[in-house]
Amino acid sequence: MVRDLLAWFAAGGVPAMIVGGVAASILGRPRTTRDVDACVRLPEGEWAAFLEAGRAHGFVPRRADALAFARRSRVLLVRHEPTAIDADLMLAEVPLEIEMLGRAVPRRAGGLRIPLPTPEDLVVMKALANRSHDLADIEAVLDANPKMDVAAALRRVRALSRSLEMPVILRDFESVLRKRRKR
């Protein structure tokens, strides 16, 4: 499925990176996930053609109103028909997403070269999502990447927490860092 997803992105010349649970499994420790998340940079005027081109790679929209939903949510929901695995394609729009996409690094996994966020960017994304499994992913990525720039990630999380007026994001991220230091 990931092979087909990457082929679809490459065929359309679409800058993309795999994020979410798959990225956390590669950059942290393996875990199960029900779908594949990706971040893509694609002008809105090209969404319909891109979605149609996905059919050649086995991808179909999960909703009849997939494009209208994407305009509202900035997420294109598709399913890989051969495997029945869902993919959520986050449409990069804000500078932070575009910057992270520009820093993506290909990593070898499962015989593929998979574009992934830097460990620092992945923990920032996971801090923003702020669910229990995201906090566990942060811990796993920190453990697996002892040379990562934790201070830079903390600065980004702190700034985003302030700008979004969501102190819980910073509080929970700092809690993971404290817990890790105690070990």
Domain spanning 1-117, CATH architecture: 2-Layer Sandwich (3.30)
What residue segments make up the domains of the chain, in order of their start?
A: 1-117, 118-183
Per-residue pLDDT, averaged over 132-158, amounts to 96
How many Å from the N-terminal Cα to the C-terminal Cα in the chain?
Answer: 37
Identify whether the C-beta of residue 58 lies closer than 8 Å to the C-beta of residue 36: no
> Taking the mean position of all CA atoms in its chain, how far away is CA 11?
20
Of 154, 143, 91, whose CA–CA distance to 120 is shortest? Answer: 154
pLDDT in tens, 102-125: 999 999 998 999 999 999 999 999
d(CA 140, CA 28) in angstroms, rounded, equals 5
Backbone angles phi, psi at 13, to 5 degrees: 60, 35
How much is the mean pLDDT over the chain?
A: 96
pTM for this prediction: 0.93
Query: In whole angstroms, what is the distance from residue 8 CA to residue 150 CA?
Result: 33
